[in-house]
Amino acid sequence: MIAQIFVGDLSNLIALLEGEVIYCVHCGREFALFPPALVVQHYADEHWERLTEVERKSSELWEGLEGEALVAAHMHFFVKLMNMRPDLRLRAIEAGAMTEARGEDGTIQ
Ligand SMILES: [Zn+2]
């Protein structure tokens, strides 16, 4: 079991995701996977009426973020992403951009 994953080098992770895309869940338009603010802004601009309260609050959290707050938000994004995409997680670990802690013995690999 993987107990936890740790983001290492953010710039390395960003480079790793180059070319990865995501599709708008409402209209299917294609976006770069990073930075996440691209698709978030699209949801707000084009699909605001279809968003739930939780989605609207999440969207508002990204507004005006810069500096350390933006870096922290990107770190959080990567942790969530890597929990959902084992294929990307493996690539990130192999590239040394991320480490994982194993549950059985607690050692970090
Ligand atoms: Zn859309």
Alpha carbons 109 and 103: distance in angstroms, whole number: 11
Q: Are 61 and 73 in contact (CB under 8 A)?
A: yes
pTM for the structure as a whole:
0.79
Q: What is the pLDDT of residue 109?
A: 46
What is the pLDDT at residue 70?
93
Q: Report how far ligand 1's centroid is from the alpha carbon of 107 (Å).
A: 42
Q: Give the residue extent of every domain in the chain.
A: 2-102
Distance 47 CA to ligand 1 centre (A): 6
Burial level of 13, CB count in 10 A (0-12/13-18/19+)? buried
Residue 29 or residue 104, greater confidence: 29
Task: Give Cα separations from 12 to 18, 35, 90, 100 (angstroms).
Answer: 10, 14, 14, 16
- Residue 93 C-alpha to ligand 1 middle, in angstroms? 31
- Give the Å distance between the CA of 32 and the centre of ligand 1: 13
pLDDT digits (tens, 9 = 90+) for 71-103: 999 988 988 898 899 999 899 888 888 887 776
